[in-house]
Amino acid sequence: MIETSSFFDIQKTETSRISQVDFTKLDFGRVFSDHMFLMEFEDGAWQRGKIEPYGPFTMSPASMVFHYGQAIFEGMKAYKTGNGEVSLFRPGMNIARFNKSAHRMCMPEVPEDLFMEALAKLVDLDKDWVPSDAESSLYIRPFMIATDSYVGVRASEKYAFSIFMCPVGAYYKGNVRVKVERKYTRATPGGTGYAKAAGNYAGSLYPSKLAREEGYDQLLWTDAIHHEYIEESGTMNAMFVIDGVLVSPATSDTILEGVTRDSVIQLAQDLQIPVEIRRLSITELRSGLESGKVKEAFGVGTAATITPISEIGIDGINYPVAHADSANSIANTLLQELDGIRRGKREDHHGWNIPI
């Protein structure tokens, strides 16, 4: 059946795969919903897009994305709110960030209204794929790749923009142990760290693998110049509770501007929790862990929401984080608030939920 919108056509699947999915045993990102969105850019303009059954692309081996890595992505979620409705959480922030990433990578921006309509139609079409139990949601992955068949190095003239979706369970199960990275760098001043550019993640795999071999779950990245100031935790923004104050580094060209980070800071302010956006050195972190002033550490991001850090390895010494497991930790208070809003159980004072 073909339906139309002003920007794209809709071709529905004739055979839904939903009955093959065990929604009680969802992993992260292995199961894909019935439909995807696809739109191509050529001759200097976005062409008419399409929602169609989820399936593979056919591409030239010379497609520029395979060689020079011109690729960006986003990650956002749809939730079932109390009355069975489905809401997107702050999608406008993801759309704006996607276009900021596109600009940095010399890729065309996607008009906001078109992006929003594609998201809304796709989620609406596959709304039965939005899981309803406590830790689950529908993860949405918009992305753009360079598709010109050309082997010279320059910005591609053709692109594909696509969105697909995965019903997901929890990302990390429980707390994580992190290692402070003193040698490798995720992002450099003047680089692409603020963009969700594919290459940033490829470059982070090797140092992360080394950390896992040492028994850690992920890295606490430090700045590229001194390897002394904390930047991010894996692919999440980093937060600490020091003397009752929520401390988080400022976003910059090396620290990605997380939607979860922004939301958590706003909720902390709403709850009268003091917040400081400032640099945090490893020296301060170490002495705070030794003295017990650093009571909590956690990563915040869409995939994992809030992940408590239970142990931090600094130059070969592991420091436990005191309140990682406490039910009345600030991290847990903020998680309950944020999760409550996203699932329609707490009042959405800021108008963050966009019902589909």
Ligand X SMILES: *Cc1c(COP(=O)(O)O)cnc(C)c1O
* Shortest Å, Cβ 90 to ligand X: 9
- Among 165, 168, 166, 86, CA closest to 127: 86
* Shortest Å, Cβ 154 to ligand X: 26
- Among 237, 230, 240, 232, CA closest to 295: 240
Q: Does 342 bind ligand X (CB under 6 A)?
A: no
d(C-alpha 308, C-alpha 332), whole Å: 9
Considering only 17-25, 158-166, 255-263, 285-293, which stretch makes contact with ligand X by CB under 6 A? 255-263
Q: Which of 142, 301, 313, 344: binder of ligand X (CB under 6 A)? A: 301
* Shortest Å, Cβ 237 to ligand X: 5
Considering only 19-27, 31-39, 251-259, 311-319, which stretch makes contact with ligand X by CB under 6 A? 251-259
Q: Which of residues 188-227 bind ligand X (CB under 6 A)?
A: 196
Q: Does 126 bind ligand X (CB under 6 A)?
A: no
H-only helix segments in 10-163: 65-68, 91-104, 112-125
150 phi, psi to nearest 5 deg:
-160, 135
Tokens of 124: 């609406």
What SS3 class is residue 263? helix
196 phi, psi to nearest 5 deg:
-85, 70
Note the residue count of the chain: 356
Q: Which of residues 22-81 bind ligand X (CB under 6 A)?
A: 75
- CA of residue 19 relative to chain centroid, distance: 28
Q: Burial level of 112, CB count in 10 A (0-12/13-18/19+)? A: middle
Q: Does 302 bind ligand X (CB under 6 A)?
A: yes
* Shortest Å, Cβ 172 to ligand X: 14
Q: Does 236 bind ligand X (CB under 6 A)?
A: yes
What SS3 class is residue 281? strand
* Shortest Å, Cβ 87 to ligand X: 16
* Shortest Å, Cβ 4 to ligand X: 32
| 256/285 with CB nearer ligand X | 256
Q: Which of 10, 26, 180, 256: binder of ligand X (CB under 6 A)? A: 256
User: What residues make contact with ligand X under the rule CB under 6 A?
Assistant: 75, 196, 232, 235-237, 256, 258-261, 301-302
